[in-house]
Chains A and B, each alone.
Chain A
Amino acid sequence: MTALTELSLAEAGKGLEAGDFTAEELTRACIEALEGGRDLNAFITETPDIALDRAKASDARRAGGKAAGPMDGIPIAIKDLFCTEGVLTTAGSHILDGFTPTYESTVSANLKDSGAVMLGKTNLDEFAMGSANVTSYYGPVKNPWKGPGGKDLVPGGSSGGSAAAVAGGLCSGAIGTDTGGSIRQPASFTGIVGMKPTYGRCSRWGIVAFASSLDQAGPLTRSVEDAAIMLGAMAGHDAKDSTSAPIDVPDFSAGLKEGVKGMKVGIAKEYNLDGMPGEIEALWQQGMDWLKDQGAECIDVSLAHTKYALPAYYIVAPAEASSNLARYDGVRYGLRVEGESLDDMYEATRGEGFGDEVRRRILIGTYVLSAGYYDAYYRQAQKVRTLIAKDFTEAFEQVDVLLTPTAPSAAFAIGDKMDDPVAMYLNDVFTVPASMAGLPAISVPAGLDGDGLPLGLHLIAKPFDEVTLFRAASALEEAAGFDARPPSPKGGAS
Chain B
Amino acid sequence: MSYLISGESGDWEVVIGLEIHAQIVSQAKLFSGAATAFGAGPNTQVSLVDAAMPGMLPVINEYCVEQAVKTGLGLKAKINLHSVFERKNYFYADLPQGYQISQYAEPIVGEGTVVLDMPDGETRDIGIERLHMEQDAGKSLHDQDPKRTFIDLNRSGVALMEIVSKPDLRSPEEAGIYLRKIRSILRYLGTCDGNMEQGSMRADVNVSVRPAGSDALRTRTEIKNVNSVRFVMQAIEHEAERQVEAYEAGGEVVQETRLFDAAKNETRPMRAKEYAHDYRYFPDPDLLPLVLADEDVERIRKSLPELPDDKKARFVSDYGLSAYDAGVLVAERETADYFETAAKGRDAKQAANWVTGNLFGALNKAGKAIAESPVPPGALGGLLDLMADDTISGRMAKDVFDEMFETGKDPAAIVADKGLEQITDTGEIEAVVARIIAENPDQADDVRSGNDKAIGWFVGQVMKATQGKANPKMVNDLLREKLGG
Contact = CB atoms under 8 A, between A and B. Distances in A.
Interface of A: 82-83, 89, 91, 96, 99, 101-103, 105, 204-209, 211-213, 239-243, 319-320, 322-323, 325-327, 329, 331-333, 342-343, 346, 366, 369-371, 374, 378
Contacts of B280: 322-323, 366, 369-371, 374
A332 B52 contact: yes
B233 to A, nearest CB: 34
Contacts of A213: 285
Interface string B277-288: 010111001111
A421 B287 CA distance: 31
A320 B99 CA distance: 12
B42 interface: no
Nearest to B288: A242
A242 B65 CA distance: 15
29 contacts: A91-B54, A99-B54, A101-B55, A102-B48, A204-B55, A205-B55, A205-B57, A206-B56, A212-B285, A239-B59, A241-B57, A242-B60, A243-B285, A243-B287, A319-B282, A323-B99, A323-B282, A325-B98, A326-B89, A327-B97, A327-B98, A331-B96, A332-B51, A332-B52, A366-B280, A369-B280, A369-B282, A370-B278, A374-B282
Interface in B31-57: 48, 51-57
Contact of A204 (B57, B92, B281): B57
Nearest to A378: B282
B382 interface: no
A331 B57 CA distance: 19
Contacts of A325: 98
Given A241-B57, A323-B89, 5 more contacts: A211-B285, A322-B280, A342-B93, A369-B89, A374-B280
Interface residues of B, number: 30
Contacts of A366: 280
Nearest to B278: A371
Contacts of A83: 53-55
Nearest to A345: B93
A405 B96 CA distance: 42
Nearest to A331: B93
Contacts of B87: 323
A208 B54 contact: yes
Given A323-B89, A369-B280, A101 B53 contact: yes
Contacts of B278: 370-371
A342 B95 CA distance: 13
A243 B97 CA distance: 19
Shortest Cβ-Cβ A-B pairs, 8 listed: A326-B98, A212-B285, A369-B280, A213-B285, A327-B52, A206-B55, A208-B54, A83-B55
Nearest to B280: A369
B151 interface: yes
Interface in B54-76: 54-60
B324 interface: no
A101 B285 contact: no
B54 A242 contact: no
A252 to B, nearest CB: 25
B57 A346 contact: no
Contacts of A240: 57, 59
A257 B281 CA distance: 49
B304 to A, nearest CB: 28
B91 interface: yes
A126 to B, nearest CB: 13
A101 B54 contact: yes
A105 B93 contact: no
A103 B285 contact: no
Given A212-B286, A242-B60, A323 B54 contact: no
B53 A103 contact: yes
Contacts of B286: 209, 212, 242-243
B55 A207 contact: yes
A476 B440 CA distance: 128
Interface in B247-279: 278
Contacts of A243: 285-288
Interface string B92-109: 110011110000000000
A101 B281 CA distance: 29
Contacts of B53: 83, 101, 103, 332-333
Given A242-B60, A369-B282, A370-B278, A103 B151 contact: no
A89 B52 CA distance: 15
Among A89, A325, A326, A332, find the residue whose CB has the most chain B CB atoms closer than 10 A: A326
A287 B434 CA distance: 127
B59 to A, nearest CB: 6
A91 B53 CA distance: 13
A367 to B, nearest CB: 10
B415 to A, nearest CB: 62
B181 to A, nearest CB: 35
A96 B54 CA distance: 9
Contact of A242 (B55, B58, B91, B149): B58
B141 to A, nearest CB: 13
A327 B54 contact: yes
B284 to A, nearest CB: 8
Nearest to A204: B57
Contacts of A208: 54-55
Interface in B125-162: 149, 151
B287 A242 contact: yes
A211 B52 CA distance: 16
A106 to B, nearest CB: 9
Contacts of A242: 57-60, 286-288
B59 A331 contact: no
A103 B48 contact: yes
Nearest to B59: A242
Contacts of A319: 282
Contacts of A205: 55-57
Contacts of A327: 52, 54, 96-98
Contact of A105 (B55, B58, B99, B288): B55
A240 B31 CA distance: 10
A476 B413 CA distance: 96
B283 to A, nearest CB: 9
Contacts of A343: 91
A326 B97 CA distance: 6
A379 to B, nearest CB: 9
Nearest to B284: A212
Contacts of A211: 285
Contacts of A329: 91, 93, 98
B91 A326 contact: yes
Contacts of B97: 326-327
A327 B89 CA distance: 11
Nearest to A91: B54
A340 to B, nearest CB: 11
A87 to B, nearest CB: 13
A89 B54 contact: yes
Contacts of A101: 53-55
Given A103-B53, A320-B285, A327-B52, A332 B59 contact: no
B15 to A, nearest CB: 26
Nearest to B89: A323
A91 B288 CA distance: 26
A327 B93 CA distance: 10
A481 B291 CA distance: 49
Contacts of A320: 285
Contacts of A239: 59
Contacts of B287: 242-243
B383 to A, nearest CB: 56
